[in-house]
Chains A and B, each alone.
Chain A
Amino acid sequence: MPRRLKLTGALGMLLLAALMICAEQRFPPPDFESGYHLPAPSTPAPRQEWLQYADTGVLLAGLGAAAWLIYAKRSRRGLFWLSVFSLAYFGFYRKGCICPIGAPQNIAYALFNPGYAVPVTTLVFCFAPIVAALLAGRAFCGGVCPHGALQDLVLIKPVTVPLWLEEALGTIPWLFLGAGLICAGTGAGFLICRYDPLVPIFRLSGGTFILTAGAVFLLAGMFVGRPYCRFLCPYGGLLRLASLASKWRVRVTPDTCTQCRLCEQSCPFGAMREPAPPAAQAKWLGTQRRRLGWLLALLPVLMAVGAWSGSKLSPAAAQLDPAVALAERYTLQQSHPVQYGVMTPESLSLQRAAMDAKAVLTAAADARHRFELACWLFGGWAGLVIGLKLIAVSVRPARSDYEPDRGACMACGRCFMACPNERVRLGLMPAAEDPAPS
């Protein structure tokens, strides 16, 4: 086993290096004006309208198929092949775009920029998986998401992440979602897309940082089930929330739970939950209630502290906006003039931007004002997320069976076959061998 681990590690490093090689390298435009118009750098290329609707059709069909496979067929194999198809179509063919993960940013951008109209296909991609989650849990994650499918394929030997760590890291997607929506709303760009570590793998190109991040996630994904989905994906956060209210929920057993505990380790994503222990002693109950009261009181304090701290971040965060970044360079050039000899691609681009300094500064000042408010909001949001999570882990769950956590369950169907009742249902095991309740 150590040899296998070494081999895997070495190959992982090579994969990382190779993906870095394939990065889109900066290459200067031609030095002489020739009348040639550089095509707009867009990956993937703009798509004909009917093909965009075809993508929407594939998404809706995929969601329907996933729900059918989870609830009607209870077929892990079917879900696996559906996810392989989704990886091929939405991942390597569509190159990770269009994708529901980034779509909420389009909505945020449209809300604050009346000149931008959200395409219908983007709206469907944003809301269809959420509606599906309200009905059937995270069917999108289980069978349609190319990110999840890629991580599933590289999963070799999953290790269990302690639940306390899982809960803590589970706040990151919410913080990322907040940052992404705020950046989109201020017009600074689509942060969630820019820092999506798996899309560069679908495209076999990208910046060094993001490719490194992608390789790290894939390497981690060999031993930790879907690390991106669990600990970074902002859209996963939204689906998690919607799944809590879902009409149907994934159940390990097709019948009644015998509490045999054979499914305990079946979920590589740490979603399996055991029945809630019997009520604790009375003195503990009192302590828990007082703690909950304190945490509820702490919530507005955390939000206020977060908002104030966030406001201090705005000068740095505003540099995500291209106008502010350009104004910073302009100011630097004013205070420390640099005489360019042969122009670098960066200086050439700056010269060709040929914007009026006053216009750049005006745009930067506007962006800075927007970011001041945005950073207040982000800080408050971060306080709210952490505060609510503290409250959530302090509330005693009511659960009588072994079952997947509604929000955390990826609806992948791996746990089905761990249940003896499922094997009996499929005729793989006679009913007599069904273990008696412990």
Chain B
Amino acid sequence: MNTSALYRALALTAWIAGAFSLLVGGILVYEHVEAATRDPWKSPQMLALMEKLAAEPKNEALQNEIRQLDLKVRRDFRRRLALDKSGGWLLLGGALVLALAAGNAAALSKAPPLPQPKSDAAGQSLRLASHARWSLAGVGLVVAGSLLIARLGNPSLLPASEAGWQKLAVQPDATPAPAEDVPVRSEFETNWPRFRGWDGSGAVAWDLKGTPGVLWQCAVPAPGHSSPVVWGDRVFISGGKADRREVFCYNAASGGLLWRRAIENVPGSPSKAGDIPEDTGYAAPTMATDGQRVYAMFGNGDLGALNLDGTVAWTKYLGPFKNSYGYAASLAVWGNNLVAQMDSGDTRAEGSKLISLQGASGRVMWERSRPVPASWATPIVVEAAGRRQVITLANPWIIAYALEGGQELWRAQLLENEVVPSPVFAGGLIFALSPGSKLMALRPDGAGDVSKSHMAWASEENVPDIASPVANGEFVFTVTSGGEATCFEARGGKKDWETNLDMEVQSSPALMGGRLLILGGKGALVTLEAGRECRELGRIQLPDKFTASPAFANGRIYLRGATNLYCLGPAEAQTAKPR
């Protein structure tokens, strides 16, 4: 093909590609203009229904009508998006052929270079440099002018001074939270408001005289692994199955059931929950209470807040959780803050997050994404290094967040495997378990990544995989699933003793005064001296199976078994005998 023929072919191709692109582009522009009248959000029909719904928020029929219309406009929208996408590809292809053909045609018609002699090269070079300097000055001015326009065009309403910020921060919120009197801290300390007590340590300072005995026992109406929580004269447990999830309130003095309430019709909760493993069930997370309400989280993601008289304050759906063993992390409570650790995913983070809710309203105060897969540990709130910290564990990170605001404070990459045991805080140190691998003590006063800088000590001896440790500032105690109890010095990590209790243990151990209580899976409650030497002080046998951890309040111990709830007290006050 000679040059002229090739040029003509390229020109013809460019024309055809141009016409094709023109046609496709025209159709797309027409579609775009048409689509403006079909914007789903501006649909007059939808707006009218929404107005109507604002007046009748409970109208189910209206909600269904809106759902149907919503679905229809979404389908139309998706169809149009697909059309736009195909059209976009066609147009891009046409434009590319046009550019290639026109470019090659232009290259063919280009005259070969014919350099002419240059005179005054030095002068030209100087003039070029001079022009470049002026143009640089021009660019500098244009940039400065643009930034000035950006500054003037975006005035800030936020204060310029520190005092202004403080003044703004104390202004009332447009949607103020309901005011209420949150119980004082000493009330939290005397009660048992969450998993392993007010601070999650599993320890109380008081002790019972002698070996505890059963004061009362009553049947547990629904299955669950959650532990009891106690406020004043009331004991709360949760239980449930696929068809019904409930909260039970008992009289702490007599064991009588005061009320039971189902958490149902939770907005957003699917009628059929996903796969919840039978072993873990729906009621593994322990409830929490702030003395105003009790909060119950279930394995399907339902969260309910009940007033102390059993009426529903609010409910919220936080699921679903992708968790191979089922969701089991318990709620943490501090004042009016409710904290839920919602880790999800098999091998990597899949929507894992930590969330703080306002107890009174259920409003989300803050939410933080977490770079971790599913975990089963419960967060604790500690006051350390002059700040309130939420300590969370999950493979591979120990992460501390600010209770107020949720900002990440520090993190340490120290954990392995499936993290079940919860952390505890005593004597200024955080004690955390990497299941089956390591017991660690960390200083909680760091910032950023403290993996290498803040570990006080670590031990690889007799590391549990389920039960959390317990500590009193002087000693740290651990119990493995096989019943191997070990005592470490809290400062330095030296092992003082170990003993095999010859029983299966899933409950976390507890400290009551100077005694270490270990509850076996088959009902043996063993009491050891919490000291430098191992000494068994007593052992009683309860006729039940236990996975939940004990609760302590007002001089009594509450144990949740598979079939019964038990209240233990001083032996002299004992009225009922275990069967």
Partner of A175 from B143, B153, B155, B267 at Cβ < 8 Å: B143
Given the contacts A11-B25, A155-B103, A278 and B122 also touching, CB distance less than 8 Å: yes
B527 at the interface (CB under 8 A from A): no
Chain-B contact segment, one of A95-103, A188-196, A354-362: A354-362
Task: Digitize A274-312: 1 where CB-to-B-CB distance is under 8 Å, 0 elsewhere.
Answer: 101111100010000000000000000000000001001
What is the CB-to-nearest-CB distance from B390 to chain A, in angstroms, rounded to a whole number? 14
- Given A156-B103, A204-B92, CB of A331 within 8 Å of CB of B124: no
Would you call A34 and B31 a contact (CB within 8 A)? Answer: no
Q: Mark B308-330, 1 if CB is under 8 A from A, else 0.
A: 00000000010110000000000
Question: Could you say which residues of chain A place their CB within 8 Å of the CB of B405?
Answer: 356, 359, 362-363
- The size bracket of the interface on A is 35 or more
Q: How far is the CA of A315 from the CA of B147 in the complex (A)?
A: 12
* A35 touching B269, Cβ below 8 Å: yes
Which B residues are in CB contact (< 8 Å) with A327? 158
Bound Cα distance A15, B25 (Å): 7
* CB neighbors of B among A265-280 (8 A): 265-266, 274, 276-280
Of residues 156 through 194 on chain B, the ones whose CB sits less than 8 Å from some CB of chain A are: 156-158, 160, 165, 168-169, 171, 173-174
Q: Does B121 belong to the interface (CB within 8 Å)?
A: yes
Contact A14/B122 with A22-B88, A331-B168 known, Cβ cut-off 8 Å = no
In the complex, which residues 311-328 of chain A have their Cβ closer than 8 Å to any Cβ of chain B?
312-313, 315-319, 324, 327-328
Which residue of chain A has the shortest Cβ distance to B106 in the bound complex?
A157
Among A18, A155, A313, contact of B91 (Cβ-Cβ < 8 Å): A18
The interface bits of chain A over 251-272 (1 if a CB of B lies within 8 angstroms of the residue's CB, else 0) are 0000000001110111000000
The answer on a CB contact under 8 Å between A18 and B24 is yes
4 closest A-B pairs by CB = A33-B268, A14-B25, A114-B448, A168-B135
Contact between A14 and B21, CB atoms less than 8 A apart:
yes
Residues of B close to A261: CB separation below 8 A: 113, 115
Q: Say if the beta carbon of B492 comes within 8 Å of chain A.
A: no
B207 within 8 A of A: no
With CB as the reference atom, state the residue of chain B lying closest to A302: B140
Q: Which residue of A lies closest to B41 (CB)?
A: A28
B157 with A18: CB separation less than 8 A = no
Q: Which residues of the other chain, B, contact A22 by a CB distance below 8 angstroms?
A: 84-85, 87-88
Question: A432 at interface (Cβ–Cβ under 8 A)?
Answer: no
Minimal beta-carbon separation of A390 from chain B (angstroms): 6
Q: Is A50's beta carbon under 8 Å from chain B? A: no
Within the assembled complex, what's the spacing in Å between the Cα atoms of A115 and B397? 11
Bound Cα distance from A162 to B129, whole angstroms = 12
Once the chains are docked, how many angstroms separate the CA of A171 from the CA of B160? 32
Question: Which chain A residue has the least Cβ–Cβ distance from B447?
Answer: A114
In the bound complex, residues from chain A placing their C-beta under 8 Å from that of B173 are: 356-357
Residues of B within 8 A of A358 (CB): 169, 404
| CB of A355, distance to nearest CB on chain B (Å) | 6
Interface contact A316-B131, CB-CB below 8 Å: no
| A361-B168 contact given A37-B320, A153-B99, A333-B174, CB 8 Å threshold | yes
Q: A313 contacts B150, CB within 8 Å? A: yes
- The answer to whether A277 and B125 have CB atoms under 8 Å apart is yes
A156-B366 contact in complex given A27-B41, A33-B267, A261-B115, C-beta closer than 8 Å: no
Distance A423 CA – B31 CA, assembled complex (angstroms): 52
- The answer, among B106, B132, B320, for a CB contact under 8 Å with A168, is B132
Chain A residue numbers with a CB within 8 Å of B99 are 153-156, 222
B174 CB contact (under 8 Å) in A30, A337, A354:
A337
Beyond A155-B99, A341-B51, list 20 extra A-B contacts (CB 8 Å).
A4-B14, A8-B98, A21-B29, A21-B87, A21-B88, A27-B41, A28-B41, A34-B268, A114-B448, A115-B408, A115-B448, A115-B449, A157-B106, A175-B143, A265-B113, A309-B144, A313-B147, A330-B174, A342-B47, A418-B113
| B18 in contact with A168 (CB, 8 Å) | no
Take A18-B25, A222-B99 as given contacts and tell me if A277 and B135 are in contact as well, using a CB distance cutoff of 8 Å: no
State the Cβ distance, B481 to closest chain A Cβ, in Å.
Answer: 33
Q: Is the CB of A354 within 8 A of B154?
A: no
- Does B365 lie at the interface of the complex (its beta carbon under 8 Å from any beta carbon of A)? yes
A3 to B121, CA, bound (A): 38
**B79 close to chain A: CB less than 8 A:** no
Counting CB contacts under 8 A, is B351 at the interface?
Answer: yes
Contact assessment for B169 and A168 in the assembled complex, using a CB-CB cutoff below 8 Å: no
Provide the B518-538 mask, 1 if CB < 8 A to any CB of A, else 0.
000000000000000000000
A1-44 at interface with B (beta carbon < 8 Å): 4, 7-8, 10-11, 14-15, 17-22, 25-28, 30-35, 37, 40
CA A264 to CA B92, docked complex, whole Å: 33
Mark each residue of chain B from 393 to 428: 1 if its CB lies under 8 Å from any CB of chain A, else 0.
000000000001111100100000000000000000
What residue in chain B is nearest A383 (Cβ atoms)?
Answer: B140
In the assembled complex, 9 residue pairs joining A and B whose CB atoms fall closer than 8 Å, in A order, are A115-B449, A156-B99, A171-B139, A262-B113, A312-B151, A316-B150, A331-B158, A344-B41, A355-B366
Q: Which of A8, A11, A363 has the most CB of B within 10 A?
A: A11
Contact B449 A114 (CB under 8 A): yes
B277 proximal to A (CB < 8 A): no
Per-position binary interface string of chain A over residues 156-190, scored 1 when its CB falls under 8 Å from any chain B CB and 0 otherwise: 11000011110111011001000000000000000
Q: How near does chain A come to B24, taking the closest CB pair, in angstroms?
A: 7
Q: Contact between B22 and A14 (Cβ–Cβ < 8 Å)?
A: yes
Q: How far is the CA of A424 from the CA of B406 in the complex (A)?
A: 70
A11 touching B22, Cβ below 8 Å: yes
B102 on the interface (CB 8 Å rule)?
A: yes
For B89, the closest partner residue in chain A by CB is A204
Which of B77, B136, B154, B407 meets A319, CB within 8 Å?
Answer: B154
Residue B63 lies at the interface, judged by CB distance under 8 Å to chain A:
yes
Q: In the complex, are the beta carbons of B156 and A318 less than 8 A apart?
A: yes
Is A345 in the interface zone, CB < 8 Å from B?
A: yes
- Residue in contact with B54 in the complex, picked from A17, A317, A342, A355, CB distance below 8 Å: A342
Residues of A within 8 A of B88 (CB): 18-19, 21-22, 204
Residues of A within 8 A of B70 (CB): 30-31
Roughly how many angstroms separate A273 CA and B336 CA in the complex, as a whole number?
A: 71
Question: Contact mask B52-79 → A, CB, 8 Å, 1/0?
Answer: 0010000000010011001000100100
The residues of A that contact B364 with a CB separation of less than 8 Å are 354-355
Report A-chain residues with C-beta under 8 Å of the C-beta of B31: 21
Q: Are B129 and A153 in contact (CB-based, < 8 A)?
A: no
Residues on A with C-beta less than 8 A from B406 are: 359
A316 engages B125 (CB within 8 Å): no
- Given A280-B122, A331-B168, A356-B366, CB of A167 within 8 Å of CB of B25: no
Q: Within the complex, what minimum Cβ distance (angstroms) separates A398 from chain B?
A: 12
Q: Are B102 and A4 in contact (CB under 8 A)?
A: yes
Residue among A312, A313, A361, A389 with max Cβ neighbours from chain B (10 Å): A361
Find residues 362-410 in chain A having any chain B CB closer than 8 Å to their own CB: 362-365, 368, 382, 386, 389-390, 393-394, 396
Question: Which residues of A are found within 8 Å of B156, using beta-carbon distances?
Answer: 315-316, 318-319, 328
B144 partner residues in chain A, CB cutoff 8 A? 309
Residues in chain A near residue B220, CB distance under 8 A? none
Q: A33-B268, A164-B128, A315-B156 are in contact. Are A17 and B169 (CB under 8 A)?
A: no
CB-nearest residue of chain B relative to A168?
A: B135
In the complex the two chains form, what is the Cα distance from A40 to B71 in whole Å?
21
Alpha-carbon distance between A278 and B174 when the two chains are bound, in angstroms: 74
A40 to B150, CA, bound (A): 32
Contacts of B84 in A (CB 8 A): 21-22
Most buried by B among A319, A357, A389: A357
Q: Are B136 and A390 in contact (CB under 8 A)?
A: yes
